[in-house]
Amino acid sequence: MPLTNIRPTAELQALDARHHLHPFSAQSEFETKGARIMTRAEGAWLTDSEGEQLLDGMAGLWCVNIGYGRHELAEVAERQMRELPYYNSFFKTSHVPAIDLAERLAQLIPGPLNSVFYSSSGSEANDTNIRLVRRYWELKGQPDKTVFISRKNAYHGSSIGSASLGGMAAMHAQGGLPIPDVHHIGQPNWYMEGGDMSPDDFGLMRARELEQAIEEIGPDRVAAFIGEPIQGAGGVIVPPSTYWPEIQRICDAHDILLISDEVICGFGRTGNWFGFETVGTRPDIITIAKGLSSGYQPIGGSVVSDEVARVLGQDEFTHGYTYSGHPVACAVALENLRILDEEKIVEQVRDVTAPYLKEKWTALADHPLVGEASICGMMASLALTPDKAARAGFAAGPGTAGPIGRDFSFANGLVMRHVYDRLVISPPLILTTSEIDTLIERAEKSLDQTLAKLKEDGLYVAA
Ligand SMILES: *Cc1c(COP(=O)(O)O)cnc(C)c1O
């Protein structure tokens, strides 16, 4: 019995437009075209309030890694709510779910990353990272090491601190961001910015911008570098393979902490448990959220190395959230990790699903509208272009083709997202090969329709 589908769609849409402010949306748009109202989901499939089914190519918002409808998580949540629905860990107190999950994370995450500070989201975890890293250097007797270096077009969250770490120009344009002491270098986006350079040379060049920035700002001022192994919200930008090893070398050479933001890349997305394994770095801190609970409960965390934990532990760290280590969220996350592990979902992605998706996805690069098909594990994107050879943008500006493609995709029963003129997927990791076939068919049809529409509207013109 659906819980939410009890009023006509039009009525729900009107109420939604009137009373519910949506993230990253112009609210006024909902007055002319109401939101699509999702009512239930199973596996990789969503059902809306009109009973239509969509293949969820985005796993919710990059998070529903194990897919929808896993009742085990609901049962664990119910049991935990009955037993101990809430308690904090401020008063020299703790509880079993927070302890069990912390132990499990320490087992799962390779290297010396063995201690977690919990939050309820990726944004909060990155805010924690800002305070934690500055406190770390202060305790080490280097209080001037306060500067964070990040990348343009990075996404690290939407709170004041995390949005400052992020490099989204549209976000910085509102509300006086970024905060001081956050510095942004160029992104390793060869397709857009690589010009005539080879991808490998371009990757090295972009990594060395970190070294230049450290030299300009002063190594005694730079606290940490933060990056997503593969940029997600920035459009699934897969860096050249030269990039991350050079970043690691530079962080080591200048005594700069490396923070790997694993909010999307963690928990199997790239075909390993963590994105840093895929790109070959040794981070001092990782940010986790999203796939940690497959989105069934809001939970995130900062997982720090033994050395960071040791230094930080010398004195009171005046930081914490009411819901740090929420017992229900921890219990659900633990159950999610059990399923990922026991059902060998990450291995299945690495050995079967991701290679199959890669073969089909990269073939879409032959489409006349596609300039590049990027993919790493189960996250992928298509750069749309009016001129493949020149990797050109559209004369009408960024975001000419992307929204059209997204709308056709939804109409064809496939949730894809657009980032300017890139179409993006990040489906549940449990996708079957036949569901991948469906995804590809619908994506291809959407590309055909988008190309026809661009031509019809005179928009198929290079900038
Ligand atoms: C989504 C995301 C965040 C922010 O997480 P929220 O739970 O939305 O606060 C941070 N970093 C990355 C890489 C993300 O994709």
* DSSP per position, 209-232: HHHHHHHHH-TTTEEEEEE-SSBS
Please name the fold of domain 36-69+344-456.
Aspartate Aminotransferase, domain 1 (3.90.1150)
Could you tell me how many residues make up the chain? 463
**CA atoms of 111 and 257, how far apart (whole Å):** 15
The pair phi, psi for residue 454, each rounded to 5°, is -60, -40
**CA atoms of 334 and 57, how far apart (whole Å):** 25
Nearest in space to 166 (alpha carbons), one of 371, 24, 282, 374: 24
**CA atoms of 302 and 127, how far apart (whole Å):** 10
What atom in ligand 1 is closest to the CA of residue 228? 13
Rama region for 158: left / alpha / beta (φ>0; ψ in -120 to 50; rest): alpha
Quick check: CB of 264 below 6 Å from ligand 1? yes
Quick check: CB of 289 below 6 Å from ligand 1? yes
Q: In the block, which residue shows the tokens 């930080």?
A: 312
What atom in ligand 1 is closest to the CA of residue 232? 15
Whether 164 contacts 126, CB under 8 Å: no
Is pLDDT above 80 for 2?
no
Helix (H) or strand (E) holding 103: helix 96-108
How many C-beta atoms lie closer than 10 Å to residue 24's C-beta? Answer: 8
**CA atoms of 389 and 412, how far apart (whole Å):** 29
The pair phi, psi for residue 343, each rounded to 5°, is -90, 5
Bridge pairing between strands 379-384 and 422-425 = antiparallel
Structure tokens that stand for 74 in this block: 């609901």
Distance from the alpha carbon of residue 196 to the mean position of ligand 1, in angstroms: 33
Is pLDDT above 60 for 5?
no
Residue to probe by mutation, ligand 1, list 118, 155, 321, most atoms within 8 Å of CB: 155
Distance from the alpha carbon of residue 123 to the mean position of ligand 1, in angstroms: 6
Is pLDDT above 80 for 41?
yes
**CA atoms of 294 and 277, how far apart (whole Å):** 20
**CA atoms of 24 and 158, how far apart (whole Å):** 10
Whether 304 contacts 285, CB under 8 Å: yes
What atom in ligand 1 is closest to the CA of residue 262? 13
What atom in ligand 1 is closest to the CA of residue 123? 9
**CA atoms of 50 and 17, how far apart (whole Å):** 18
Distance from the alpha carbon of residue 267 to the mean position of ligand 1, in angstroms: 14
Query: Domain residues of the chain, as ranges?
Result: 36-69+344-456, 72-342
3-class secondary structure, 31: helix
Structure tokens that stand for 79 in this block: 């049991």
Encode pLDDT of 285-308 as tens digits: 999 999 999 999 999 999 999 999
Residue to probe by mutation, ligand 1, list 156, 165, 270, 292, most atoms within 8 Å of CB: 156
Distance from the alpha carbon of residue 157 to the mean position of ligand 1, in angstroms: 5
Encode pLDDT of 256-275 as tens digits: 999 999 999 999 999 999 99
Distance from the alpha carbon of residue 455 to the mean position of ligand 1, in angstroms: 36
What atom in ligand 1 is closest to the CA of residue 261? 13
Nearest in space to 236 (alpha carbons), one of 437, 118, 368, 381: 381
**CA atoms of 232 and 238, how far apart (whole Å):** 9
What does the pLDDT average to over 11-27? Answer: 96
Distance from the alpha carbon of residue 162 to the mean position of ligand 1, in angstroms: 9
What does the pLDDT average to over 99-122? Answer: 98
Computed over every residue of the chain, the mean pLDDT equals: 97
CA-nearest residue for atom 6, ligand 1, is: 122
Encode pLDDT of 47-68 as tens digits: 999 999 999 999 999 999 999 9
What does the pLDDT average to over 99-115? Answer: 98
Structure tokens that stand for 86 in this block: 């809430």
Residue to probe by mutation, ligand 1, list 24, 58, 120, 123, most atoms within 8 Å of CB: 123
Quick check: CB of 228 below 6 Å from ligand 1? yes
pTM confidence score: 0.97
Nearest in space to 156 (alpha carbons), one of 62, 232, 214, 60: 232
Encode pLDDT of 337-352 as tens digits: 999 999 999 999 999 9
- 72-342: in CATH 3.40.47.10: no
What atom in ligand 1 is closest to the CA of residue 298? 7
DSSP state of 28: T
Amino acid at 125: A
Whether 342 contacts 336, CB under 8 Å: no
Encode pLDDT of 387-445 as tens digits: 999 999 999 999 999 999 999 999 999 999 999 999 999 999 999 999 999 999 999 99
Bridge partners, residue 53, by sequence? 47
The pair phi, psi for residue 296, each rounded to 5°, is -70, -25
**What angle is formed at CA 265 by the lines to CA 240 and CA 299, rounded to 5 degrees?**
155
Bridge partners, residue 304, by sequence? 115, 285
Is pLDDT above 90 for 6?
no
What does the pLDDT average to over 176-198? Answer: 98
Rama region for 382: left / alpha / beta (φ>0; ψ in -120 to 50; rest): beta
What does the pLDDT average to over 208-236? Answer: 98
Quick check: CB of 165 below 6 Å from ligand 1? no
Bridge partners, residue 227, by sequence? 260
Q: How confident is the model at residue 1 (pLDDT cuts 50, 70, 90)?
A: very low
Is pLDDT above 60 for 165?
yes
Residue to probe by mutation, ligand 1, list 263, 296, 297, 381, most atoms within 8 Å of CB: 263
pLDDT attached to residue 101: 98
**CA atoms of 306 and 328, how far apart (whole Å):** 27
